[in-house]
Amino acid sequence: MKLLEFQAKKLLSQNGVRIPEGFLMESTEACERLRFPAVVKAQIPIGGRGKLGAVRRVKDKAEALAVAGHLIGTTKKGYTINSLLVEEAVDVKKEMYISCLNDREKNRPMFMTCAFGGIEIENLAQEKPEQIGRLGIDPFIGIMPYDIRRIASELELSDDKAFAPIVKGLWHIVRSHDATLVEINPLAVTDKGLVALDAKIILDDNARFRHDLEFREIELNQENYIRKNQTEPEVLAQKYDIAYVGLEGDIGIIADGAGTGMLTLDMVRDMGGKPANFCEMGGKAAADAAEQAMEIVLANPKVKTLLISLIGGMTRMDQVAQGIDRYLRENECRVPLFVRMCGTKTPEGSLILAQHGIQTQEDLQKTVQLAVENIGM
């Protein structure tokens, strides 16, 4: 679960990290409370808000009214802006980057730092990886004083005592809230000390059972501020509780598992095709899930070919085929359909689909190639 900026900053403040003074604004009337200069930030769960014009510095009431009036109600990357975080503009002497996240390669927490902030850390990691500091933390030992001194040195900070509460705060959030990412970008040196000017926190959905009340409070809070303009496939996916992510291509993809789906998506790209989505049925009842997944993916008018990639472990191919059969009997399939079927009850599943003139394949590479070569035939 990704927190909105004001939620992330509230959690940071509760854990000893200083944040700018500010408040949440939902209408232009709140401009009466502002002290200038100020920074106005749209509260939507996306990165790069500054480049989209959704973060603005204002110098007086007239400019604040104009910016707030322009932002509230507008849409950025599919999200309608309903609230703004308004903060005091601080005098910044230096900006830095710091985060605590999971190191997937070494399967342990890691602090990542950079001596200058306000940057896109992903791009910097590719272009100038030597400028990024990485420090793995033993989860059984935790943060030690020498770890804090090392991180402070990498950030070129001489006062590690003033810096220590920030490191400890990030670490505590990761450990006590099961966060997969706690990021401050930038962390600023100001006359008032170190201040988190922007923050991102992602909580691990798999740990919800340990924090159910906290998750429910966050979700309830976000319902009042986040309005996503969902596409028809996204609405259907939410209705049927099937994993779906829309992409920009024209080859619809349905898989019976996340691994199979990612492999298929990569192969489509490698062969020159453009995936229209990622959709996997997960552990749902095979027949129902297959029928629902076809409805979801084909609701996208950009889809010109449908590729269904199946590998039967616990899933029986005849049951998946029954779901595809039910959809085809009740709906006209407007695009070419290619099915890779391999695993339990494959012969029975192939016979069911043969009634619709569909010749299933066991070779995934061949099936992907057919889908890419026969778009919209």
H or E element in which residue 39 lies: strand 38-42
Strands 305-312, 337-343: pairing is: parallel
Which phi and psi (to 5°) does residue 294 adopt? Answer: -65, -40
Residue pair 111/98 in contact (Cβ under 8 Å)? The answer is yes
Note the helical H segments in 207-316. 212-223, 232-240, 258-270, 286-298
Which phi and psi (to 5°) does residue 354 adopt? Answer: -60, -25
In Å, how far are 202, 260, 267, 367, 371 from 307, measured between CA atoms?
33, 12, 12, 8, 6
Positive or negative: CA dihedral 308, 312, 315, 321: positive
Longest CA pairwise span in the chain (Å): 75
Of 12, 227, 10, the residue nearest 23 (C-alpha): 10
What separation, in Å, do the N-terminal and C-terminal C-alpha atoms of the chain show? 41
Active-site position among 5, 95, 97, 244: 97
Can you tell me whether residue 74 is helix, strand or coil? coil
Per the annotation, the verdict on 240 as an active-site residue is no
Per the annotation, the verdict on 183 as an active-site residue is yes
- Cβ neighbours, 10 Å, residue 357: 8
Of 221, 240, 220, the residue nearest 232 (C-alpha): 240
**257: which 2 tokens?**
């598992």
**84 burial via Cβ count (<10 Å: 0-12, 13-18, 19+):** buried
Active-site position among 183, 280, 291, 295: 183
**247: which 2 tokens?**
């992409």
Active site residues: 97, 183
